[in-house]
Amino acid sequence: MYKISYKTELHVGKGALQQLSHYKNEHILVVADPFLKTSGTLDAILANFDDSNDIVVFTDIVPDPPIETVVAGIKSAGDKPISIVLSIGGGSAIDASKAMYYFAKKQGAFSEAILIAIPTTSGTGSEVTSFSVITDAERGTKYPLVTKEILPILDADLVLSLPGNITADTGMDVLTHAIEAYVSTKATDFSDALAEKAIKLVFEYLPKAYKNGQDVEAREKMHAASTLAGMAFNTAYLGINHSLAHAAGAKFHVPHGRLNSILMPHVIQYNAGIEFNNRNRQATDKTVASRYQDIAKLLGCSASSPVSGVRQLVEAIKKLQRKLEMPTSLREYGVKADAFAQYKVEISEAALHDGCTPTNPRVPTAEELLKVLEKAF
Ligand code: NAD
């Protein structure tokens, strides 16, 4: 038996921002990415609000937000009776606002507040997930917190300004969410349907969005793919790709999606139990390998056996990475060998205890996680 709840009310497409005009006499805490302030996008979005609203704007958002950002955001509201927390930005701004909402409510503030999220990257799906990833800089760990009941507004015009590298990174994050949800131990027919669609959209439209950032159709499709993948992993959860990315990201500060992308081929091969440098290519876990085979078939590969399915999927991902001109190893990204050597064991240990590990299709040991990480280096 399982229970799935999709409470989220999505507002999608051109004109969706007008939804904001319905709010009157509210006390609103806006948590926005600083880029949106300088680009003028923030003012354009806030212009949709009625003048009767009292608006406080907090834009001190940094990538992979630490708890200090969360505390500062709550403080910025002073003692106003906040009734709406509105987040506008990528996963960092949305996660920070979700944590502000979560902790302020715990302290008895923002008690009647609702949470609205307007993503400006097509990547994390945070606008539909119950998770908020906050970094503990001291311990070098990212903690997933759980918040619920968000009202997302999706307008792909907001991602037209994303530069190519962020388009690629965040798009590969979408793919990682969808693939991890698909092979998760908690996958269901419902999450599969969402993940399959997201995977197809990424392979078709991410290269187009990367090549031409003004391709509105590609942007719309990627914005939808991001949310679909978020809905998939919100019920199916993720796996060690994200566990390693959370732990390594806290140490090396590689953009989250790029880190997921670098790890993905190695994680897939590990999960299927396939060593491609081994001549005797046997999948030790045929069930997991056959799930990857299904994805390869979805992408039009022949995938005549689980092993060839895994191989073709990995090849398809590598081809996509080449189209997106992405680094394929941590070393290529710029992580130094001595820093890697210093932190690799700590990262593997942290990844073993990450909240995403229990739903990975293969139960890893810290030593195995270390091996995957070393391959990614
Ligand atoms: P991000 O929010 O850190 O933003 C990346 C960069 O893009 C920033 O420099 C930002 O200023 C810029 N940016 C944002 N929107 C822009 C736009 N429209 N035009 C130009 N530049 C823009 O990146 P992200 O990948 O969206 O989020 C990553 C964070 O999300 C990580 O902390 C990760 O752990 C977290 N995450 C959370 C979940 C979840 O379910 N809550 C899932 C995956 C990732």
Strands (E), the chain: 11-12, 27-32, 54-58, 84-89, 114-119, 131-136, 141-146, 150-154
The whole-angstrom separation of Cα 35 and Cα 91 is: 13
| pLDDT surpasses 70 at 16 | yes
State if residue 181 touches ligand 1 by the CB under 6 angstroms criterion: no
Looking at this protein, which amino acid is placed at residue 332? E
| pLDDT surpasses 90 at 144 | no
- Identify the band that residue 145 occupies on the pLDDT scale cut at 50, 70 and 90: confident
- Identify the band that residue 9 occupies on the pLDDT scale cut at 50, 70 and 90: confident
Query: Which residue's C-alpha comes closest to atom 17 of ligand 1?
Result: 162
State if residue 256 touches ligand 1 by the CB under 6 angstroms criterion: yes
| % of the chain exceeding 90 in pLDDT | 86
| pLDDT surpasses 90 at 153 | yes
State if residue 158 touches ligand 1 by the CB under 6 angstroms criterion: yes
Which among 122, 69, 118 is positioned nearest to 96, based on CA atoms? 69
Residue 5: per-residue pLDDT? 74
The whole-angstrom separation of Cα 176 and Cα 45 is: 30
Inter-residue contact 119 to 156 (CB < 8 Å)? no
Residue 281: per-residue pLDDT? 56
Tokens in use for 288? 């997991």
Inter-residue contact 11 to 223 (CB < 8 Å)? no
- Identify the band that residue 367 occupies on the pLDDT scale cut at 50, 70 and 90: very high
Average pLDDT over residues 277-283: 56
Tokens in use for 321? 């990475």
The DSSP code for 66 is B
CA angle 317, 323, 329 (to 5 degrees): 60
State if residue 161 touches ligand 1 by the CB under 6 angstroms criterion: yes
Inter-residue contact 273 to 288 (CB < 8 Å)? yes
